[in-house]
Structure 1
């Protein structure tokens, strides 16, 4: 289940980075908007073929969507980073900018 959430958060992050709507990605992949929404929320796992189509549409290696660039290992740190990534991916641009400012202030 954690892999589903991570995959979905990464899809949402890369989709938003391209400025795409759910509709745009669903058109590019050939699945419904609802399917993409469920994948992004971690409520559905895509078929491998669909995962590859999503990665191709977003122009990222498929393995990146599965968290290849995430923190290594298991445990609390990896779980926390996965949760934070999921939260950040759900933010709109304004919220993300505020969160970035807060982190910079917090880290000094």
Structure 2
């Protein structure tokens, strides 16, 4: 795993490569928020599951295209962290194309 920007200039991480797929990590400000977004070009999330993915222990049913495992607690922890800092976590996903998760925390926290 390495960062494209780190490799080029020793700066902050803009793009992270993990295995054979790209995961893009972007840090930015949006109004009064500090934001970190993580984008992948994986299998995406079917629209019918988007409202439930932040629930503790929720896992999208495995299909023929999804071979990942987990306990279904990671996204619920991120949501708790965001809430504790008066922030939010959002997701934008297109099934079979990929997903972007954005964590936004108020600057004045």
TM-score by length of 2: 0.27
TM-score by length of 1: 0.27
* Bigger Cα Rg: 2
Greater strand share, 1 or 2?
A: 2
